[in-house]
């Protein structure tokens, strides 16, 4: 393998590894004006809390950071999380959070959606409303 190509491949691996490392920190973010405490965050993502005053809360999942979120915040595995939502959907007619691919998609969503909440694997800019850090 040529040195330059090897350098590129090493860069690829390092970049992938760095994204994994960055996912160790988790930030729960919401649309401006939405304020939640730790217990609320869990309830919002499990469908137990759907309103903040008159604002309907709209949680979204971040598939890139979901394993860390389930472990640190909801303290449940993916199977139980999914089953919990299936039951809620069937019992109460509510739908599970939409799934976003990564931090960028979540940020874009909450910027434009009143009541929107999500979580990020990387620290957001100062202008973003961070309601919890894990």
Partner 1 sequence: MKRQLHAITVGALCVLGTYCPAGLVSAAENENDRVTALEQKLDRSLKLIEQLTARVKELEAQRAGTAASAQNVPPAPPAESSPQIQQRLDSVEQQLTQITDSNAARGGGGAGVPLHGFADIGIGNHTANEPGLQGANVGALDMYLNPQLGEHTRALFELTFEVDQQGQVAPDLERAQIGYQFSDAATVWIGRFHTPFGYYNTAFHHGQQIATSLRRPRFILFEDQGGVMPNHTVGAWFTGAEPLTDGKATYDLFVGNGQAISDGEIDPRSGGVDHGGAIYGGNLGYVFGETLNGLKMGVSAFRSKITNDQPYVNFTRVDNVGVYFAYDTDRFEHIGEYYRFSDSGLTPVGPTHKSSAGFLQLAWRLPIATPYARYERAALNQSDTYFAAQTEGMSYYRDAVGLRFDIDLKSALKFELGHTKNTDRLVQEWNDVLMDYAIRF
The contact set with partner 1 (CB under 8 A) reads 2, 4-5, 8-9, 11-13, 15-16, 18-19, 48-51, 56, 61, 63-64, 76-77, 79-80, 82-83, 85-87, 89-102, 104-105, 108-109, 112
> Shortest approach of partner 1 to residue 101 CB, angstroms?
6
Using alpha carbons only, give the angle 90, 63, 128 rounded to the nearest 5 degrees: 105
Q: How far is the CB of 65 from partner 1 (least distance, A)?
A: 11
In whole angstroms, how close is the CB of 111 to partner 1 at the nearest point? 9
Which H/E stretch holds residue 76?
A: none
Residues in contact with 38: Cβ distance below 8 Å, sequence separation at least 6, in sequence order: 132
């Amino acid at each position: 393998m040529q040195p330059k190509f090897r350098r590129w491949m090493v860069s690829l691996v390092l970049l992938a590894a760095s994204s994994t490392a960055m996912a160790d920190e988790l930030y729960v973010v919401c649309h401006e004006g939405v304020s939640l405490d730790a217990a609320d965050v869990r309830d919002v993502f499990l469908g137990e809390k759907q309103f903040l005053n008159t604002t309907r809360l709209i949680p979204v999942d971040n598939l890139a950071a979901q394993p860390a979120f389930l472990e640190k915040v909801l303290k449940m595995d993916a199977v139980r999380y999914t089953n919990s939502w299936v039951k809620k959907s069937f019992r109460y007619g509510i739908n599970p959070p939409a799934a976003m691919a990564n931090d960028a998609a979540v940020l874009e969503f909450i910027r434009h959606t009143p009541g929107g909440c999500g979580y990020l694997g990387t620290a957001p800019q100062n202008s973003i409303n961070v309601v919890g850090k894990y």
